[in-house]
């Protein structure tokens, strides 16, 4: 198997795949594992993948399906923790990027995947549907609902000024 085309692909596409994986997984370490696993899965069939055209969409699809399978596996296992996690300090104000990442993590996984693929990876509805293994109308619905939830979380309540003398 000739690995030079694969090596070029990895050096060119790995940073973008990692950014996508961080947004899907919400965790840098998990995202690195996700990218490595997706690249390993595609390396095994690299000749067949490159004969069918540009491999980026295929690798992105493998990344999304691997994330989905890991998420399903984790949701069915018991997670034991020694102590409850500390609560966040209310005096610390998160920066805008962290606030957005936290809002994305609050979305259900399928909804988060649709929003990330459409607006971060800049895929069309058809491309996102192919990556997620669903119909374009499902992507449209999940994206619209995800954006609605993100707007509610990120804008917060609207405060009205208190009238003087009241």
Mean of per-residue pLDDT scores for the chain: 83
Q: Identify whether the C-beta of residue 34 lies closer than 8 Å to the C-beta of residue 22.
A: no
pLDDT per residue over 87-121, tens digit each? 555 555 556 778 888 889 899 989 999 999 999 88
- Give the model's pLDDT for residue 125: 93
CA distance 127 to 137: 12
CA distance 17 to 60: 7
CA distance 22 to 108: 15
152 burial via Cβ count (<10 Å: 0-12, 13-18, 19+): exposed
CA distance 152 to 15: 31
- Give the model's pLDDT for residue 166: 46
* pLDDT above 90 coverage of the chain, percent: 48
58 contacts: CB under 8 Å, gap ≥ 6: 42, 49, 52
Q: Between the CA of residue 142 and those of 62, 79, 115, 152, what are the distances in Å?
A: 20, 28, 8, 15
pTM for the whole thing? Answer: 0.60
Residue 122 CB coordination number (10 Å): 9
∠ CA 140-19-52, nearest 5°, is 70
């Amino acid at each position: 198997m000739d690995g030079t085309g694969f090596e070029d692909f990895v050096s060119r596409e790995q940073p973008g795949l990692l950014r996508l994986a961080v947004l899907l997984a919400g965790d840098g370490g998990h995202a690195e594992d996700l990218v490595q696993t997706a690249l390993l899965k595609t390396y095994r069939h690299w000749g067949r993948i490159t004969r069918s055209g540009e491999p980026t969409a295929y690798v992105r699809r493998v990344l999304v399906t691997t994330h989905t399978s890991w998420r399903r596996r984790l949701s069915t296992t018991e997670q034991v923790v020694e102590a409850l996690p500390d609560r966040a300090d209310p005096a610390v104000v998160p920066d805008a990027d962290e606030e957005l990442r936290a809002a994305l993590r609050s979305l259900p996984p399928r909804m988060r995947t649709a929003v990330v693929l459409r607006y971060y990876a800049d895929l069309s509805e058809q491309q996102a549907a192919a990556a997620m293994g669903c119909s374009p109308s499902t992507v449209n619905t999940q994206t619209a609902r995800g954006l609605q939830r993100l707007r509610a979380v990120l804008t917060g309540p609207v405060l009205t000024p208190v009238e003087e003398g009241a």
